[in-house]
Amino acid sequence: MNATAWKDVEAAVAVSKNKTIKELFAADPDRAKRYTVEAAGWTLDYSKNRLDATTLMALLKLADLSDLKAEIEKMFTGEKINRTEDRAVLHTALRNVDYTKRVFVDGKDVMPDVRGVLEKMAAFADKVRTGAHRGFTGKKIKYIVNIGIGGSDLGPVMANIALTPFGKRNIKCFFVSNVDSTHLAETLREVKADQTLFIVASKTFTTQETMTNALSARAWLVKELGDEKAVANHFVAVSTNADEVSKFGIDTANMFGFWDWVGGRYSLPSAIGLSLMIYIGPRNYQRFLKGYWKMDKHFRTAKFDRNLPVLLALLGILYINAYGAETYAVLPYDQYLSRFPAYLQQMDMESNGKSVDKDGNRVAHATGPVEWGEPGTNGQHSFYQLIHQGTHLIPCDFIGFCKTHNAIGDHHDKLMANFFAQTEALAFGKTAEQCRAEGDPEELIPFKTFEGNRPTNTLLADDLTPETLGSLIALYEHKIFTQGVIWNIYSFDQWGVQLGKVLAKNVLKDLTAEGAPELKHDASTNALIARYRKVLGRA
Ligand code: F6P
């Protein structure tokens, strides 16, 4: 992190932390207006933060001195900014719906390939939706089972739930990710083989969980339909690895490709979104991409003091690095966004969960936070107590929509009343005087007093559509990118997940070995493996 700029932030915070959010509002009647910005269908009100003008200026300077502008250009123009994997980072090219703009990697314009895959996806999606693509016995496809994990699962699941109002209701989508056989078994109980399309989604096509699930699903299908040839009608692949797809037994004509410059957790707008495109249709999918594109354009061109992703990133840095906040909550007030926090967990924590800077040195400051959340109002009856009155500082992003897709009585007004009331309560709290005025007995005053001064951002859009969802995802992608730039860490690799994968392979050998293998792990792991083997009669 730029040391000089950070010192200025700390100096500004030393002053601003003495003012509560309530005092900041009292001192500036225009505060709400001043700290509200709009882009790509979203309004961000960040006025309920521990932020004054000097702190904001210092944070903006931090962004400038971190060369953020230049780094953004490097990403959008296909420079190999993912140095540890020697790759460009070009998920923005996937939704570059302005097809006149060319995007180069290693001197080659990638846009014709991007367009080509989108067209192939759209043609296939239409065939499935209209019934032109049939199962082996001639029946229409009624069930889609996406088999993938991490970035090849979380995005498709999240978006599929989020865009249910735009989905074809007579197609049911399922997502199998966990290598736990229960996940596959329970899914197969819900579908009929002759009406099911399996989409095996894996960037590498070597991920243990996905390959295990895909092979078992394949065996089930062949058994159910009694013919190996059925695989051709019921299995397609989404991957960058044509060789492995062929080895698996899927004709590469039924493969939808993408490229090494698309990171797994950023891959939803690539062919990884095939299940979503089949469900909501190519036209809605195009709107989804357009939403991303609008936020991409905003991020690339807006001044930092009006730039939604940059502002969210700087506020995150303020709380993580100046206030020591270790987590932040994302609280969508829309049931359709129930999996959005889980999707963001991978995006944020796999990207910025790093402790070594770009020069290979240990960072001298905290980096990526723990991200968590649940849809409102469920969270209110669960963990909000801690956010309101606990000892931890937990900045929150509240996400809501003015309109609902399911107008029943006054549900939506009640939902949104809670949405607005929570940020008000968190910021302004409740004083002892207010409690007394309401007649609370003196001995209960300490318990019923709310300090307030809890920071929140409010993100509000008219309604949840493919477009606003696309923009929302891009907003967080670019927020995370901005933080990585300022922390000077590599946000697009994930070496931290490799060790567990390698060790699991070694342990698997020991779990399944014939006879009495010599266990060479630590004493704890050896004892646990021995206990497992004994129960299964392998001791
Ligand atoms: O968890 C590690 C990871 O590599 C993620 O980054 C990725 O999204 C996931 O595994 C799945 O990988 P693949 O799509 O190659 O199966």
pLDDT tens per residue, the chain (539 residues)? 999 999 999 999 999 999 999 999 999 999 999 999 999 999 999 999 999 999 999 999 999 999 999 999 999 999 999 999 999 999 999 999 987 789 999 999 999 999 999 999 999 999 999 999 999 999 999 999 999 999 999 999 999 999 999 999 999 999 999 999 999 999 999 999 999 999 999 999 999 999 999 999 999 999 999 999 999 999 999 999 999 999 998 989 999 999 999 999 999 999 999 999 999 999 999 999 999 999 999 999 999 999 999 999 999 999 999 999 999 999 999 999 999 999 999 999 999 999 999 999 999 999 999 999 999 999 999 999 999 999 999 999 999 999 999 999 999 999 999 999 999 999 999 999 999 999 999 999 999 999 999 999 999 999 999 999 999 999 999 999 999 999 999 999 999 998 888 888 899 999 999 999 999 999 999 999 999 999 999 97
Active-site option among 33, 192, 381, 411: 381
Quote the ligand 1 centre to 517 CA distance (angstroms). 31
Task: Say what the pLDDT of residue 498 is.
Answer: 87
Substitution candidate for ligand 1 out of 87, 203, 477 with most atoms within 8 A of CB: 203
Which token pair is 514? Answer: 């014939």
| 350 catalytically annotated | yes
Task: Say what the pLDDT of residue 319 is.
Answer: 98
Cα–Cα distance for residue pair 533/516, rounded to 1 Å: 10
Cα–Cα distance for residue pair 111/96, rounded to 1 Å: 8
User: What type of residue sits at position 479?
Assistant: K
Question: Which has the closest alpha carbon to 263: 306, 192, 327, 204?
Answer: 204
| 183 catalytically annotated | no
Cα–Cα distance for residue pair 58/45, rounded to 1 Å: 20
Half-sphere exposure of 367 (CA within 13 A, CB side): 26
What is the β-pairing status of strands 255-257 and 143-147?
Answer: unpaired
User: What type of residue sits at position 296?
Assistant: D
Cα–Cα distance for residue pair 318/455, rounded to 1 Å: 11
Task: Say what the pLDDT of residue 457 is.
Answer: 98
Measure Cα distances from 115 to 5, 95, 107, 271 in Å.
42, 10, 18, 11
Question: Which has the closest alpha carbon to 171: 210, 143, 130, 205?
Answer: 143
Substitution candidate for ligand 1 out of 85, 147, 152, 495 with most atoms within 8 A of CB: 152
Question: Which has the closest alpha carbon to 40: 460, 511, 477, 525?
Answer: 460
Q: What's the distance, Cα to Cα, between the start and end of the chain in Å?
A: 53
User: What type of residue sits at position 291?
Assistant: G
Quote the ligand 1 centre to 205 CA distance (angstroms). 9
- Phi and psi (nearest 5°) for 84? -70, -15
Quote the ligand 1 centre to 125 CA distance (angstroms). 24
Point out the ligand 1 atom lying closest to the alpha carbon of residue 151.
8
Half-sphere exposure of 337 (CA within 13 A, CB side): 28
- Which string of b and e fits 90-107 if b means at least 16 CB within 10 Å? bbbbbbbbeeeeebebee
Cα–Cα distance for residue pair 472/468, rounded to 1 Å: 6
Cα–Cα distance for residue pair 116/113, rounded to 1 Å: 5
Within 8 A by CB and 6+ apart from 36, the residues are 43, 44, 45, 46, 47
DSSP single-letter state for residue 356: B
Active-site option among 71, 209, 350, 371: 350
CB 68 within 8 A of CB 81: no
Which helix H or strand E contains 176, and what residues bound it? strand 172-176
Instruction: Give the sign of the dihedral formed by CA 475, CA 481, CA 487, CA 491.
Output: positive
Spell out which residues line ligand 1, taking CB within 6 angstroms.
149-152, 202-204, 207, 210, 264-265, 350, 494, 497
Point out the ligand 1 atom lying closest to the alpha carbon of residue 209.
16
| 388 catalytically annotated | no
User: What type of residue sits at position 498?
Assistant: Q
- Give the position of tokens 């049931």: 335
Helix (H, G, I), strand (E, B) or coil at 82: strand
Residue with CA closest to ligand 1 atom 2: 497
- pTM exceeds 0.75: yes
